[in-house]
Amino acid sequence: MHPLTEKRTLTPPLISIFILSAAALAYEVLLVRLFSIIQWHHFAFMVISIALLGYGASGSFITVFRNSLLEKYHSVFITNILLFGLSSIACFITVQHFPFNALEILWDRSQWQRLLLSYLILTLPFFFVANAIALTMMRFHLKIPLVYGIDLIGAGIGAVSIMALLQIFSPDAMLRLISISSIAAGFFALSHFNDRQRQLIASVLLLFMLAVFMTPQKWVDLRISEYKGLAQTLLIKDASLLMRHTSPVSQIDVVQSSHIPFRYAPGLSLQSPAAPPEQLGVFRDGDEITVIDHVTDMSSLAYYDYMSSAAPYHVHSSPQNILIFGSATGAPILLARLHGISRIDAVEPDKQLSLLITDQYADYYGWQALKDKVTIHTISPRGFATSDKNYDLVVVGMPGASTGGAAGVYALSVSYDYTVEAIQSYLKLLAPDGLLSITLWTSNPARANLKLFTTAVTAMKKSGINNPENNVAWIRSWNTATLLLKNTSLTAEEINNVREFSQSRGFDLAWLPGIKPYEVNRFQLLQEPVYYLAAQSILTQAIPRGSESRFVQEYKYGIQAATDNKPYFNNYFRWSSLEEFFSLPGQAGISMIGVGYPILLVTLIQASVAAFILILLPLFFLGTDKQEVEGRRNIFTYFLAIGLAFLFIELAFIQKFTLILSQPLYAVAVAICAFLVFSGLGSLYVQHRMKIESNIIIPVVLRRSVTLIGLITVLYIVLLPLVSGTLIAFPESARILSVFVITAPLAFFMGMPFPLGLATLQQTRPHLMPWAWGINGCASVLSAILAVLLAIDIGFNGVMLLAVALYFIAWLSRIERIKE
């Protein structure tokens, strides 16, 4: 063989792998965005989790057709690149054209067929990309850690790139861009072909790139579900879209309805002398609505004073300064101004929402008259709460907050704004007689508000308030409830103010120091005065340390306090109530449980069944030799365990970093990037060691990496809560850097077990390599779902410890001793 050709055949197409891996991860992130816009984000989670089983499917496919695929490796590689590029856009277009109605799934069986079809179609792109990478590892078997390392680093770069690019490009434009750039990856895999072939392949690739570029825009235009608020609003006469802004986290649409006003005013009292003024509707991902008021003069805002969120302004004798957490499109700022407060700090993590009122619609909102008195900070509430300033009023949420909590769609999203630690930090911001006010939507049966109450009371007790029953007032309107907390006892005057405010507006008292049972449940009648009963039980019953009040124990929903370790404020699922929910007639049960948690369970079941088939299927094509079968058991254990463990740790750390970085958007991008890049470097290090010290090194490196992963993880579980308080206060660049520093050692070692395992297999049983690849792919999918399910029950620390145990189990499986 010609020396140059020989070198080419020994060098994997690393640039192609890099681009392909980056594109695949970017595509995964993009799909979540696309489905969150056209459907709902919990369904996005389900569809994409299942689609990622394409990695598992590729393992099964290659196991069966290994020899013929490897024989024509170079052509197969290029073909899979091309197919990934084309299917990435084509599959989304196809799925979008089969309108699947997530809301109807419990009523209509045909929706399940459409869902299944969506799964199958969206699995294809991931199947092709996994084929390309796995076959490259097999073809260049001496360089498995190298290929895998580049794969991980590419994916890491893909994660930050998509976040950055989504700031510039719309999601549909990104779909084209990903498709074109992945086809372009083919140009870097042509060295093996002769000149004539090269020209031909290059022309084909170019042609398809052009085809994707020329795809009609109306095919890729997003078709938002007709059941989403935005779609319905645009059906109203003279309603029009004024502005659309897309970002990596949301699509913001501003809508004007000149004929019929929005009149958005959550829980407005029937005693209100005025209706809301003209408003612009602001939709997030086509559904959650907030509004921008057209401020002409302060009298047009009188209606604000007739919502339960106005309570703190009537209870505090003379508030001078205020801190608002979640100023959104400016409603809480207007309420503060209505009460003449001229020192306003507002915290809003979503910069785009703030820009609407300070820039794009500044005149409409009357920002000129406000800007000297208001400072808007783009940071998370927790990030700002490290401030040592003091406020007369600290206000959290509402009016103008979005809905959704009651339907349970956020059950699985992590929120560090409503945990015991969060409320403790908010209480610290209060001036001596200051008030903390938290307003939430109500639901029936009551859930979120009761959880808030237990969380708040736990926080007060932890902050050294021994008799919280004297420091709390709680009122509710038709569909909102406002909780007032104070570090000291409420004075007689303040208590009287609460009574007067509620009475005059037809709001109900739920708790007040010295409240009488006949004072509750008078205007907005509930079957039973649940809020009062909960408050009475939680505040007045003597509860042993570490235990819960009887009410909390017996309530059908999980309303235990949310903590930083289990920050699932919006999840109220309780296993013990499941049977009762299922026994309800018709489809009523699901409206009682909320969709979030059941979707997670359904996804896990579907993924487990699919994974089981994908892992089992190839075994029919392999021999049944006794020794062979025994070895397979070890391989299965090893790759399943490390597949589960890797994502357990990665996901748990992403959540921990969300708190440190104060920006969920950056947190996810930075954490994924850091994890993948450093794991990639770990894998490259393995390649380096194998090159100089031969393959004997495998057991040694494996043992050391597993030990170090365990040690570092345990160390972090102890140390992170101690340092995160300090890190939150650092400037942004320092926080991002600290995340990289924290991640580096752990991820570096986590990048080793997988390539070590594959390299072992390559020496002993190369025909099982694709099977192991498939197992790992399936395990990763299961892991992402399981991590959330487990975190809800055992917390993120528990998930990490479990991961350590899994790494240990992997090591015990002694994969390196499997004989040929």
Note the residues at the interface with other proteins (CB under 8 A). 101, 103-104, 106-107, 225-229, 231-232, 235-237, 259-261, 263-268, 270, 272, 275, 406-407, 443-446, 478-479, 506, 522-528, 530, 533, 537, 550-551, 554-557, 580, 584-592
Name beta bridge partners: 473. Answer: 484
With b for 16 or more beta-carbon neighbours within 10 A and e for fewer, the 709-739 pattern comes to bbebbeebbeebeeebeebbebeeeebbebb
Helix (H) or strand (E) holding 546: none
Cis peptide before 399 (omega within 30 of 0): yes
Helix (H) or strand (E) holding 142: none
132 versus 534: smaller Cβ distance to other proteins: 534
Task: Count Cβ atoms within 10 A of the Cβ of residue 363 and give its class: 0-12 exposed, 13-18 middle, 19 or more buried.
Answer: exposed
Q: Measured from the CB of residue 536, what is the shortest distance to other proteins in angstroms? A: 9
210 versus 588: smaller Cβ distance to other proteins: 588
Q: Measured from the CB of residue 735, what is the shortest distance to other proteins in angstroms? A: 37
Question: What distance, in Å, lies between the first and last C-alpha atoms of the chain?
Answer: 30
428 versus 522: smaller Cβ distance to other proteins: 522
**Contact yes or no for 414/407 (Cβ under 8 A):** no
533 versus 782: smaller Cβ distance to other proteins: 533
Rounded-to-integer distance, Cα 725 and Cα 736, Å: 15
347 versus 411: smaller Cβ distance to other proteins: 411
Rounded-to-integer distance, Cα 790 and Cα 797, Å: 10
246 versus 402: smaller Cβ distance to other proteins: 402
Q: Measured from the CB of residue 91, what is the shortest distance to other proteins in angstroms? A: 26
Rounded-to-integer distance, Cα 145 and Cα 304, Å: 62
Q: Which amino acid is at 496?
A: N
Task: Count Cβ atoms within 10 A of the Cβ of residue 44 and give its class: 0-12 exposed, 13-18 middle, 19 or more buried.
Answer: buried
274 versus 708: smaller Cβ distance to other proteins: 274
**Contact yes or no for 561/450 (Cβ under 8 A):** no
583 versus 624: smaller Cβ distance to other proteins: 583
Q: Which residues fall within 8 angstroms of residue 2, CB to CB, at 6 or more apart?
A: none
Q: Supply 181's token pair.
A: 């750039």
Rounded-to-integer distance, Cα 495 and Cα 512, Å: 7
Q: How far is CA 764 from CA 268, 625, 682, 690, 757, in A?
A: 72, 15, 23, 16, 11
Q: Measured from the CB of residue 507, what is the shortest distance to other proteins in angstroms? A: 11
Tokens 């400037």 map to which residue? 731
Q: What is the 8-class DSSP label of residue 520?
A: B
464 versus 585: smaller Cβ distance to other proteins: 585
194 versus 583: smaller Cβ distance to other proteins: 583
232 versus 470: smaller Cβ distance to other proteins: 232
Q: Measured from the CB of residue 582, what is the shortest distance to other proteins in angstroms? A: 12
Name beta bridge partners: 324. Answer: 346, 395
Name beta bridge partners: 291. Answer: 281
Q: Supply 697's token pair.
A: 């090194």
Rounded-to-integer distance, Cα 622 and Cα 618, Å: 7
186 versus 405: smaller Cβ distance to other proteins: 405
Q: Measured from the CB of residue 477, what is the shortest distance to other proteins in angstroms? A: 8
Q: Measured from the CB of residue 271, what is the shortest distance to other proteins in angstroms? A: 8
Q: Measured from the CB of residue 259, what is the shortest distance to other proteins in angstroms? A: 8
24 versus 530: smaller Cβ distance to other proteins: 530
237 versus 545: smaller Cβ distance to other proteins: 237
592 versus 619: smaller Cβ distance to other proteins: 592
For CA atoms 659, 664, 669, 672, the dihedral sign is positive
Task: Report the 10 Å Cβ neighbour count for 213.
Answer: 11
Rounded-to-integer distance, Cα 569 and Cα 571, Å: 6
Tell me the three-class secondary structure of 577-628, residue by residue: HHHHHHCCCCCHHHHHHCCHHHHHHHHHHHHHHHHHHHHHHHHHHCCCCHHH
Residues in the chain: 820
5 versus 444: smaller Cβ distance to other proteins: 444
Name beta bridge partners: 659. Answer: none
Rounded-to-integer distance, Cα 135 and Cα 133, Å: 6
Say if strands 279-284 and 343-347 run parallel, antiparallel, or are unpaired.
unpaired
Of 804, 805, 786, nearest to 794 by C-alpha is 786
Q: How far is CA 234 from CA 238, 259, 266, 290, in A?
A: 8, 12, 21, 15
Tokens 């340092």 map to which residue? 723
443 versus 780: smaller Cβ distance to other proteins: 443
Cis peptide before 445 (omega within 30 of 0): yes
Of 357, 438, 427, 361, nearest to 396 by C-alpha is 438
Q: Measured from the CB of residue 287, what is the shortest distance to other proteins in angstroms? A: 11
Q: Supply 696's token pair.
A: 């004997």
107 versus 612: smaller Cβ distance to other proteins: 107
Q: Measured from the CB of residue 70, what is the shortest distance to other proteins in angstroms? A: 50
Rounded-to-integer distance, Cα 147 and Cα 144, Å: 5
